[in-house]
Amino acid sequence: MPATPEVVADCLGARGREQARRASIAKIHQLLDLTDPTPVPLVNLCLAAIRRETGKAQKQARPLRFKGLMRDAPRGLIFAR
């Protein structure tokens, strides 16, 4: 400890479930007051390669639905934030 970005990339490349493992490595380093090796571009590239290899599908966004009073609102009405 602390792990280097190269060691983290090798560990992620050798095992599956990359996001959970990356979060675990980051949390251990945070708890021990060590510098986090996971936000380095090398680790991000390794994760991108794993995602390409496993072919995870992107989830589709849920449709917007209005219920109650919003259903009867006139079209073109602009709501303030």
| Cis before 2? omega within 30 | yes
Please give the model's pTM, rounded to 2 decimal places. 0.56
So what's the pLDDT on residue 51? 80
Give 16's pLDDT tier (boundaries 50, 70, 90): low
Cα gap 44→46, rounded to integer Å: 5
How many CB atoms sit inside 10 A of residue 49's CB? 14
Q: Does residue 41 carry a pLDDT above 70?
A: yes
Give 63's pLDDT tier (boundaries 50, 70, 90): confident
Task: Provide, rounded to the nearest whole percent, the portion of the chain with pLDDT above 90.
Answer: 0
Q: Does residue 68 carry a pLDDT above 60?
A: no
Burial of 36 (0-12, 13-18, 19+ CB in 10 A): middle
